[in-house]
Amino acid sequence: MIGIMLNKSEAKEIEYLIKKELEELLSDFKDDQIEPMVKSVLEERYHALFRLFTLLASPAECTRFCRRKQEYQ
């Protein structure tokens, strides 16, 4: 297990960066020109970032970036 100590401003900055990356990934999922193989890699990246985001953000913020089951089947 690896830990990290952040002060509040650092945590907010990392939260902001993850939010921007999640927004970008969500927009990429809607793009029909991206190949399925690439989308599967994006899906793995999304899950890793979302898990990290849940450690920093409030539950209300997390629901904003949740994907519906039908979106990724």
Residue pair 43/69 in contact by the 8 Å Cβ criterion = no
The count of structural domains within the chain is 1
What is the extent of the structural domain holding 42?
8-71
Q: Flag whether 60 is in a domain.
A: yes
Tens digit of pLDDT for each residue in 20-62? 999 999 999 999 999 999 999 999 999 999 999 999 999 999 9
Q: Flag whether 40 is in a domain.
A: yes
Q: Flag whether 51 is in a domain.
A: yes
Tens digit of pLDDT for each residue in 53-62? 999 999 999 9
Residue pair 39/26 in contact by the 8 Å Cβ criterion = no
Q: Flag whether 43 is in a domain.
A: yes
Cα distance between residue 46 and residue 51, in whole Å: 9
Q: What is the pTM of this model?
A: 0.83
Cα distance between residue 36 and residue 24, in whole Å: 17
Q: Flag whether 21 is in a domain.
A: yes
Cα distance between residue 54 and residue 28, in whole Å: 21
Q: Flag whether 2 is in a domain.
A: no
Q: Flag whether 59 is in a domain.
A: yes
Cα distance between residue 36 and residue 64, in whole Å: 24
Q: Flag whether 63 is in a domain.
A: yes
